[in-house]
Amino acid sequence: MAVGVFDSGLGGLTVLDAVSKRLPDVPFVYLGDNKHAPYGVRDADDVYTLTCAATERLWDAGCDLVILACNTASAAALRRMQESWVPRDKRVLGVFVPLIEALTERQWGDNSPPREVAVQHVALFATPATVRSRAFQRELSFRAIGVDVEAQACGGLVDAIEEGDMILAEALVRSHVDALKRKMPTPQAAILGCTHYPLMQEVFQDALGPEVAVYSQANLVAESLADYLGRHPDMIGTGDASMFLTTGDPKRVSDHATHFLRRRIQFDAA
């Protein structure tokens, strides 16, 4: 029994860490498409094709349920995959909905009509492809009315984090927050809509100020997965071992991942 966790690269390890802590008995197969990362600068068709290929690889590894721990894939490909591609006996879930349910104070699967919620001014920080897709605004509009969303595409930030250049990453966070604040001076909540950004959460919080509630996904996704598996235990697939797979160079990716998560991680070729 295993559940697949997919990301374009290493950022999804923040989600993997949270889901494995929350569900210690479930084996997880992680797949990073490092060969084709970053996804954030690709067009939607490209992200769709790559995400389908990676999802099939995880199905082959015995994972009937695949979590797209990549916001760019969740935003640019998930709806199309669910509508026309995923077979009946498989599931692919994304990372946006748990976050939006938390923001709009909804229980999982509450499909009642959109209503007014406590927050009215929300800042979204994400990759250029996620911002372009407007998937966040679309999913939010199914659940809430009267929420003003200002999105800031954080060009360069994923690359700086992947390279471990935290000085550049901090400078980029501060300049992207400044740019956002010029468009929306007093956001009430900020969404870190990219798997890499939790590593910079303190800098985001500092730049935004203490009055802004900063939402990041890993723990919200873990709670929602635990809830989902409680209701659909049959969706834990046949795979029985945790593993880390990459489409990139396993040694290079293992070294980067170890640096990224500050613990030893061994990737194998996908």
- Window 144 to 173, contacts with ligand DGL (CB under 6 A): 158
- Residue with Cβ nearer ligand DGL (29 or 73): 73
Residue nearest to ligand DGL (CB): 40
What is the DSSP code (8-state) at residue 39?
A: -
Give the binding-site size for ligand DGL (rule: CB under 6 A): 17
48 interacts with ligand DGL by CB under 6 A: no
Q: 78: which 2 tokens? A: 């998930």
Residues, the chain: 270
98 interacts with ligand DGL by CB under 6 A: no
7 interacts with ligand DGL by CB under 6 A: yes
Q: Reading across the β-sheet that carries 91-93, which strands appear in turn?
A: 91-93, 65-68, 3-7, 28-32, 243-246, 268-269
Token match 């966070």: residue? 173
| Residue 127 burial (CB count, 10 A) | 30
55 interacts with ligand DGL by CB under 6 A: no
34 interacts with ligand DGL by CB under 6 A: no
CA–CA–CA angle 219, 153, 103 (5° rounding): 35
* 245 dihedral zone (left: phi>0; alpha: psi -120 to 50; beta): beta
CA 220, CA 233: separation in Å to the nearest integer? Answer: 19
List the one residue from 4, 9, 32, 94 that touches ligand DGL (CB under 6 A): 9
15 interacts with ligand DGL by CB under 6 A: no
Q: 7 among the known binding-site residues?
A: yes
Cβ 46 vs Cβ 37: under 8 Å = no
Residues in contact with ligand DGL, shown as a per-residue x/- string from 196 to 215 under the rule CB under 6 A? x-------------------
* Residue 52 appears among annotated catalytic residues: no
Q: Which one of 55-63, 68-76, 84-92, 225-233 is the stretch in contact with ligand DGL (CB under 6 A)? A: 68-76
* Residue 70 appears among annotated catalytic residues: yes
CA–CA–CA angle 1, 48, 16 (5° rounding): 35
List the one residue from 4, 27, 40, 94 that touches ligand DGL (CB under 6 A): 40
| Spatial CA neighbour of 3 closest among 260, 267, 221, 268 | 221
Q: 219: which 2 tokens? A: 């723990």
* Active site residues per annotation: 70, 194
- Give the annotated binding-site residues: 7-8, 39-40, 71-72, 195-196
Q: Which residues bind ligand DGL (CB under 6 A)?
A: 7-9, 11, 37-40, 70-72, 127, 130, 158, 194-196
